[in-house]
Structure 1
Amino acid sequence: MSLAQLRRRTSMKWRAHPEDVLPLWVAEMDVRPAPAVADALRAAIDLGDTGYPWGTGYAEALAAFAAERWGWDGLRVEDTALVPDVMMGVVEMLRLTTGPGDAVVVCPPVYPPFYAFVGHDGRTVVEARLGADLRLDLGALDEAFTRARRGGRRAAFLLCNPHNPTGTVHTRAELEAVAALARRHGVRVVSDEIHAPLVLPGAVFTPYLTVDGSEDGFALHSASKAWNLAGLKAAVAVAGAGAAADLRRMPEEVGHGPSHLGIIAHTAAFRDGGPWLDELLAGLSANRDLLGRLVGEHLPGVRYRPPQGTYLAWLDCTHLALHDDRPADGPGVVADLAGPARMFLDDARVALSSGHVFGTGGAGCVRLNFATSPAVLREALARMGCAVRAL
């Protein structure tokens, strides 16, 4: 799609900043909808099918997709529940397994709403920072689980699988080690797997609930990221065999939150959107490689580890020595910017996500969304390079 077409969109990505800014921040893709999704929505509108959701079609489509793509044959529809979206589903799973004042472990740098949603619901965040290789640090996780359970508190581990913002795809061995640690410490695992369909060539996605010892865990799935459906709210919570009884305690009204049109769209994506997804993944893989070349050309010294999944790149700009307390002068998304992200917005007119909001280890870094056209990517990196050379 051309920039002129994209700027007609009214979503957050395209309206939060002035028109001279290239927006590579929030997780929206610059793509047209999958034909299967668009056709399903048009048919529903033409039929007037805009009422309340019903049935298990979404979970059935997810189960079939999971079996085909990930070899997950054990996803039982009866052990699922509809939730409004992944983060609201995360909150509900944490309410089933912890109470106010209990601890939730996260692995920063990590998706900022992990902090906000956990804190707003009265839980305490305990950090287990990623290793220098941006992978799970099992020693740090062991120590964090000990702290989280101190005083007899209940605790949960909010896992990001694949990891946002680093794009790390956890291996089966890593997830088995997580499950073993969680069982030893009595910690319940809630796995956010919203980016699961977006694993790029060279990596393999492992659903947490398929590893040994994960039976008392939960996973949250959605077509939202892979098919660009954030505005059509719907997600599925999946319980391991040992957590199914807990899931049945979820309040009935939670299942009233998803949109019927959202469920129609997500079901069509998982059921019929595979060919479109394959084309998308090929394009994202090419953009991932292009980004690596552009960083080397325009941003020497910036550390870029090609992500294994998602369409998000984590750029370590600490060598620029920009303090992350550079003051903001506006509300909302502008106020959340500091350090290199603030500089790139002010001086390059490129909007990125500021690393400091991703928790410990994020200061001095930025997250870049490369789910755009190669032309936009080239222009953005050229602008960023000019801004760095002018420092």
Structure 2
Amino acid sequence: MTVFDLPLDELRRRTSLKWTAFPPDVLPVWVAEMDCRPAPQVIEALTHAIVGGDTGYPVGRPYEHALAEYAAEVWDWEFDPVAHAIQVPDVMQGIVSVLDLLGTRGAPVVINPPVYPQFFKYLAWGERPIIEVPLTEAGRLDLEGLEKAFAGESGQKPEAFLLCNPHNPHGTVPTREELTTVARLAAEHGVRIISDEIHAPLVSAPAKHTPILSVEGVRDAVIIISASKAWNLAGLKSALAIGSPDVADRLLTMPDEVTHSVSYLGIVSHVAALREGRAWLAEALGEIEANRALLSSLLAEQLPEVRYQPGEATYLAWLDCRALGLADPGKTFLDKGRVALNNGPTFGSVGAGHVRMNLATSPEIIAEAVRRMAASV
């Protein structure tokens, strides 16, 4: 039995966003939900809590300690789980809450499009003007562009840089050298770094995740992280904000309206995943890697005009469809092929002509999605 072995008829009985947003004849390979069952250890922990009626309020620091153990063993990074970390409801709420706690509403924030669409939405809701520094064509950080943006050459002086590490949708993993440069530039120009590291456990060897707080010279920085993406626990909300030593004291003053909104069952499931679900994650990563190779092969055979550079992280594929000459590839694939992907422009204007595809599914579903995409053009 594999992680992504669920048949299509079983998946269609789900009532979550991925499987209900489109009509039944549409094959959904879009939003970041995995087509799998939870890790057995997570099921056991949740079942034990629910059957025993252990469904009350969170208490203590189990999540902080579980992540500290995981980070030390997997990323060779140590932090103080009591003095440097707090619980937040989820990554995006944590990002906006940290920006407000440590900074000023109305101050600009730098991002690197094409990037997770919720960055645009939440920053707008948080009244934060956006300064865009697009990734390079290879999907890497534009360090020269960041330096100019941090210096205020666009006419706006940013207060913070919202980093996506690893990057969604490209799947690139910033190197320690790249992040060291980012930390130096941010320190020189007084820019706070807020790093979304929700995809950090989803890095395939030989690449290795580098937490921004493990980089030499970093200061005034916060990591927002969760086990939700790697173990498919988005509906069991819980996350952590971890600050560099110079901001940790302020971070721990986060108001109760934020910290008391964390789900207790979220904590239970995330702790079980981090401590006991590593073998399940390793199997999932192996299957995702195989699905990347499968997608490359299928595109070469059926849609050779579509460019795809497999990433080192996430289970998301960023597909360059510009050579197809379609005004709106995502709409064409949906309307004519009945396959739903994330449309590129939602990741920023530089995403035009692209789509994002979810590879956390069975090889059969990937093959059918590509067949439909090819038939639509």
> What's the TM-score bracket when you normalise by the shorter of the two chains?
over 0.9
Which amino acid in the other structure matches residue 115 of structure 2?
V
Q: Which amino acid counterpart does residue 62 of structure 1 have in structure 2?
A: L
Is 1:82 aligned to 2:87, yes or no?
yes
Tell me, yes or no, if structure 1 residue 99 matches structure 2 residue 104.
yes
Aligned residue number for residue 192 of structure 1? 196
Q: Structure 1: how far apart are the matches of 2:153 and 2:114?
A: 18
1:230 alignment partner in structure 2: 234
1:340 aligned residue: 329
Could you tell me how far 1:75 is from its partner in structure 2?
Answer: 4.5
Q: How does 1:1-391 map to 2 (within 5 A)?
A: 1-147=6-152, 155-323=159-327, 339-388=328-377
Whether contact under 8 Å (1:84, 1:234) holds in the other structure is yes
Q: How far did 1:93 drift?
A: 1.2
CA contact (8 A) 1:188 1:216 kept: yes
Find the aligned partners of 1:201 and 1:297 in 2 and give their Cα distance: 27
**CA distance in 1 between partners of 2:369 and 2:252 (Å):** 48
SS of match in other structure, 1:81: strand
| CA distance in 2: counterparts of 1:311 and 1:100, whole angstroms | 33
Specify the code of the residue in structure 1 equivalent to 2:298.
L
Aligned to 1:330: none
Mapped partners of 1:249, 1:127: distance in 2? 30
Q: Does the 8 Å contact 2:109/2:159 carry over to 1?
A: yes
Q: State the Cα distance separating 1:150 from its structure 2 match.
A: 5.3
Q: Deviations over 1:79-128 (max 9, x none)?
A: 11000000000001111232122010000000011111011111110001
Q: For residues 140-167 of structure 1, what are the alpha-carbon distances to aligned partners after superposition, in whole Å with 9 as ceiling and x for unaligned?
A: 111111228957x561000000000100
Cα gap change, 1:261/1:148 in structure 2, threshold over 3 Å: closer, same or farther?
A: farther
Spell out, residue by residue over 1:181-228, the C-alpha distance to the aligned partner (whole angstroms, 9 max, x if none): 100110000000000000013311111110012232000111111000
TM-superposed deviation, 1:321: 2.1
Whole-Å separation in 1 of the counterparts to 2:143 and 2:158: 20
3-state SS of paired residue (1:281)? helix
Q: Following TM superposition, where does structure 1 have runs of at least 4 consecutive aligned residues deviating by more than 4 angstroms?
A: 148-151
Query: Scaled by the length of structure 2, what TM-score is found?
Result: 0.96
Change (3 A) 1:55 1:149: farther
Checking the alignment, whether the CA contact within 8 Å between 1:314 and 1:367 is kept in structure 2 is yes
Contact 2:199/2:230 (CA < 8 Å) preserved in 1? yes
Percent identity of the aligned residues?
Answer: 53
1:85 and 1:148, CA in 2 relative to 1: closer, same or farther beyond 3 A? farther
Write the deviation string for residues 254-296 of structure 1: whole angstroms up to 9, x where unpaired.
1111111111001111111111111111111111111111111
Question: One-letter code of the match for 1:371?
Answer: A
C-alpha distance in 1 between matches for 2:80 and 2:112: 26
Q: Scaled by the length of structure 1, what TM-score is found?
A: 0.93
Secondary structure, in 3 states, of the residue corresponding to 2:83?
Answer: helix
Q: Distance in 1 between matches of 2:369 and 2:214?
A: 40
Deviation at 1:237, TM superposition (A): 0.6
Spell out, residue by residue over 1:311-368, the C-alpha distance to the aligned partner (whole angstroms, 9 max, x if none). 0000001112222xxxxxxxxxxxxxxx101100011111000000101310000000
Matched to 1:117, the amino acid is Y
Report the Cα distance in structure 2 between the residues aligned to 1:10 and 1:36, rounded to whole angstroms: 23
**Residues in 1 aligned to 2:268 and 2:53: alpha-carbon distance in whole angstroms:** 13
Q: SS of the counterpart of 2:229?
A: coil
* Deviation for aligned residue 1:175: 0.5
Distance in 2 (CA, whole Å) between partners of 1:232 and 1:214 is 32
Gaps of 5+ in 2: 1-5
CA contact (8 A) 1:340 1:366 kept: yes
2: CA distance between counterparts of 1:184 and 1:300? 45
Tell me: CA distance 1:279–1:170, structure 2 relative to 1, closer, same or farther (3 Å): same
Q: State the secondary structure of the residue aligned to 2:195.
A: strand
Q: Distance in 2 between matches of 1:214 and 1:150?
A: 25
**CA distance in 1 between partners of 2:361 and 2:55 (Å):** 31
Deviation at 1:76, TM superposition (A): 3.5
Tell me the SS of whatever aligns to 1:183: helix
1:297: Cα distance to partner?
1.0
